[in-house]
Amino acid sequence: MANQTRGCINSTLGIDEACLVLKDLTNYPAIFHAIAREAYMGLGFPLANLEPGTNTSLIISTKRPLHIYYQTIEDGQYRDNCHTAYNFKEHGLYRWNLSDGGICHEIETLRQPVQSYLPIFAVFMLLVILAILRSATSVVIRVIRGKLSPDNVQDDLDRLQENESVTHTVIVTTKSSMRIKSVDAFRGIALLLMIFVNNGGGQYVFFNHSAWFGLTVADLVLPWFAWVMGLSITISKRAELRVTTSRLMIITRCIRRFVLLILLGLMVNSIHSKTLHDLRIPGVLQLLAVAYFVCTILETIFMKPHTQDTLLQFGRFAMFRDIVDSWPQWLIMTCIVTTHTLITFLLPVPNCPSGFFSPGGKYQYYGKYENCTAGAAGYIDRMLFGEHMYPVTNDPVYGPIARHDPEGLMNTISAIFIVYLGVHAGKILIQYYQCNSRVIRWLLWAVLTGIVAGILCKFSASEGVIPISKKMMTLSYVLACSSLAFLLYTILYVLIDYKQVWSGAPFIYAGSNPIFIYVGHVLTKGLFPWAWHYAHSCHAVELIINLWTTVLWGLIGYVLYRSDVIITI
């Protein structure tokens, strides 16, 4: 939260740091407290001990708006003074005068902060310019090709040769050409965004995961990746069933892929483990493996290889055939979601309230629920995994909190529902042939899931019956991310597959080899030439490094794509 430093006025400030000068005008010793405004529930971090008549300067975080106050110690009694919230800015110099008698002074700005968002604006403008130049170049090339067409510049012999070549044209199919571009583009967006945020996202708060509640750009990448994996399940399993692949063979391949994903996940986790005793068992690949396994088994058992006559099979419900045709899967999904919700609200957790969604910790609720982190989900993970999960962390926003794992058992159950919503998006794609039919249904699902998510969380970050939390993968979080996934895929489908005004590049390249690129970026994270260290870092430097890492993996994906190399497991 902050570092007490004498004379930070002339010191070098780092990323998301400001200097705050506290001028103690009280007649008593005082303690300065601060905590992220979103995390304040009774207590703040004690950051500085102040003596009457002294000035104390300290480096303070600017990542989030802070709730600040000070306590005076009068005759052995602690008295709170001047609770207020303030949004400090990077590299700014501020002063706050502390007084007795309930007098609260305004926070003064002694030195203006820097424009920390200027680098991201510059990158955005550069990308816009490049996109415009690329579009203009395409138009020019088309015009030139039109002027140099065979009708204008070739003689009769050339025409004859061209006609012969057209007559005997051989259509060459590759692994890449057989793939649906909008699906690969969606997957590539999620993957490259994941690489960017995992490497730091330029150290911008909105490119990092939310502290506990709320939704940032970084919080979208994993559910989007899971969602599009579900869409791919529908396409691949329908194709396999249509070529008379036995269901037993499909299940056998599913089990094989499930085991390989689990092993890859444990291998990735072992990078940060010294012994098997502290090897983390849950992980991103493990979560995806379980969700993939459950949804694939369901589709393999219940999916029909061919769409039967719509009117005869569904009658008046023909327009809902994508739902009616999958009623067994939806029934099972309803049971899974209901069970998850009932466990969340009804499972008795020692010394904790039911339906607890907060991080708990030392500074929330006056420390009353210090060991209740993540409620029932955290309790189950601690009982199930023990030492084989994330350790106790000193969260920079909430302080020390108990063990929990964002890819634990309850979160994995939530991921199953995310994947199945993607499965259903794939069913809309293969069961309806007109663009309007597909687009309308995807948009309706986007609206429906978005409204339900909003109702559950009261259209806020931390309120409602079920608040939005990536750490716990709450139902409102799952629905909100799925809503945005339906919307994004609809846009990509129209632009890439239907209107064909965009090829999906450069995202389709990375999206063709997602597992290889994901594992590769984890294994090479922080290593040269993918990244390097800088003595005096800032947002601009971090942004350049993180963008270079992302671009480099995009280039690797491009080489594989052009070489027609598709690495699957």
- Tally of CB atoms within 10 A around 405: 25
Token pair for 256 = 């094989």
Q: Is 209 a catalytic residue?
A: yes
- Tally of CB atoms within 10 A around 130: 10
Q: Would you say 64 and 36 are in contact if contact means Cβ atoms under 8 Å apart?
A: yes
**Catalytic: which of 91, 209, 521, 539?**
209
Q: Is 186 exposed, middle or buried (0-12, 13-18, 19+ CB in 10 A)?
A: buried
CA angle in degrees (0–180, nearest 5) for 478-479-482: 85
Distance CA 460, CA 213 (A): 9
Q: Tell me the DSSP string of 44-112.
A: -EEEEEE-TT-EEEEEEE-SS-EEEEEEEEETTEEEEEEEEEE---TT-EEEEEE-STT-BPPPEEEEP
> 């730091």: which residue's tokens?
200
Bridge partners, residue 234, by sequence: none
Exposure string (b/e) for 414-446, b if CB count within 10 Å is 16 or more? bbbbbbbbbbbbbbbbebbeeeeebbebbeebb
Sequence-distant (6+) residues with CB within 8 A of 288 are 225, 226, 229, 261, 415
3-state secondary structure of 517: helix
Bridge partners, residue 97, by sequence: 23
Virtual CA dihedral for 387, 393, 398, 402, nearest 10 degrees? 20
Pair type for strands 393-395 and 45-50: unpaired
Distance CA 509, CA 179 (A): 11
Catalytic residue numbers read 209
